[in-house]
Amino acid sequence: MKNYQYLQQKYLVNTYVNRGITFVKGDGVYLIDENGEKYLDMMSNYGVNIFGHVDREITDQITNQLNALTTLHGSFNNDMRADASELLIKRCGPSYKFVYWSNSGAEANEAALKFAVATSGKKKIIACTNAYHGKTLGTLSVTAGEKYRKPFLPLLWEVVFIKHNDISALKKAMDKNTAAFIVEPIQGEGGIYVPNNTYLTNVREMCSKHDVLLIIDEIQTGMGRTGALLSSQKTRVQADILTMGKGLAGGIPVGATLVNQKVGNAIFKGLHTSTFGGNPLACAGVKATLNKIDEKLLEHVTEIGSYFIKELKSIKSSLIIDVRGQGLMIGVEVKEDRNGILKKLQSKKILAIPAGDTVVRFLPPFIVEKKHIDETVSKFKHILS
């Protein structure tokens, strides 16, 4: 049998940690390695596989599109692209009028920043400490911390970082040169930081008052992850620019940047384009995925997520500093050896991922059941003891 781990490490550039497993199949909440061993997937490929692996409805619809037409330049019209665009706009809210399709969350945010500058004529952007919006040069400019930024300084435009969940800091940072404020409803990669219930509402009011565009990054929080299609819908806040990605197309790479009328009016032909953006294959995935997200599913995400958080909080361990999150976006902050804990979970065939420097992050697929959570919590508790 081929040594696929050796081949991948030999030929791929060295940008990822090697977790030492070769997966060849997926089945619902499980990933299956080359030896047939099953691992409980409590991270769903960083939140992408929201319906688990090889969901039959989504797979069938993507396969049908694969047999019809996979990609088509945006200068031509397409039935699947039109349907997916209409469905996404209608599901997200009345303020959103147009969508720009790309291939990833970082691309969605890259477009959002350009759209904000084109609309306002200004180039100052406000972002948050612990924020993560991507690693392209534009999005890296609004991603916090030296970890990713330091080798590439100076970056683009003027970016000011403020404390998340602090309205007074936002007000102080705004001036006549400010184009936009970009914010995650819940900070994901930074460490699963949940703001107070009025934060987004106050942000919206502040941005409107000072004529600053609000960009809400729902790449990780969107598509039902926190128990609503969009986390921002819980407070009925609508952005000027909204970005989505990850689970939006059922596992097919996609990014979406939704804009209101004002921003849409400022976008001119050629401003920002993508050969593969809005390809019919990805749009088939978008349509199939959105049609599976209904109120019953969102209630399940809320209920099973609350159960998961409650069970994690019940663990008596001096190593746990905090448990936080919403829905199925959950982080456990630990005092020490976060990476060692992740490795031990993996050795017990539970897959989780890091966030920040000290957080064990769980982003399970929405089809997760109580028995899977009980298994995870039991093994996690054993490791911490």
pLDDT at 192: 97
Q: Are 71 and 274 in contact (CB under 8 A)?
A: no
pLDDT at 299: 98
User: What angle is formed at CA 310 by the lines to CA 307 and CA 316, rounded to 5 degrees?
Assistant: 140
pLDDT at 87: 98
Contacts of 95 (CB under 8 A, 6+ apart): 238, 239, 240, 260
The last residue of a domain, from among 226, 258, 292:
292
Beginning with the edge strand found earlier in the chain, give each strand of the sheet holding 353-355 in spatial order: 320-326, 329-334, 359-362, 353-355
| Domain extent for 348 | 4-55+294-384
pLDDT at 249: 98
The last residue of a domain, from among 229, 262, 292:
292
Q: Are residues 141 and 197 in the same domain?
A: yes
Q: Are 152 and 140 in contact (CB under 8 A)?
A: yes
Q: How far is CA 113 from CA 54, 68, 177, 213, in A?
A: 34, 34, 15, 10
- Rounded to the nearest angstrom, the gap between the alpha carbon of residue 9 and the centroid of all alpha carbons in its chain is 27
Q: Are 145 and 136 in contact (CB under 8 A)?
A: no
pLDDT tens digits for 279-331? 999 999 999 999 999 999 999 999 999 999 999 999 999 999 999 999 999 99
Residues listed for the chain: 385
Helix 79-92 with 280-292: angle, nearest 10 deg: 40
Q: Are residues 288 and 298 in the same domain?
A: no
Q: Are residues 230 and 356 in the same domain?
A: no
pLDDT at 1: 81
Report residue 261: phi and psi, to 5°: -60, -45
pLDDT at 156: 84
> What is the domain-level CATH number for residue 261?
3.40.640.10
- What is the spatial distance between Cα 92 and Cα 106, in angstroms, rounded to a whole number? 20
Counting the structural domains of the chain, the total is 2
Q: Are 384 and 317 in contact (CB under 8 A)?
A: yes
Residue 71, both tokens? 């990609």
The list of the chain residues with pLDDT below 70 reads: none
147 forms beta bridges with none
User: What angle is formed at CA 46 by the lines to CA 133 and CA 309, rounded to 5 degrees?
Assistant: 105
Q: Are residues 34 and 141 in the same domain?
A: no
39 forms beta bridges with 31
257 forms beta bridges with 100, 243
> What is the domain-level CATH number for residue 325?
3.90.1150.10
Q: Are residues 63 and 206 in the same domain?
A: yes
- Residue 267 carries which side chain, given as an amino acid letter? I
pLDDT at 63: 98
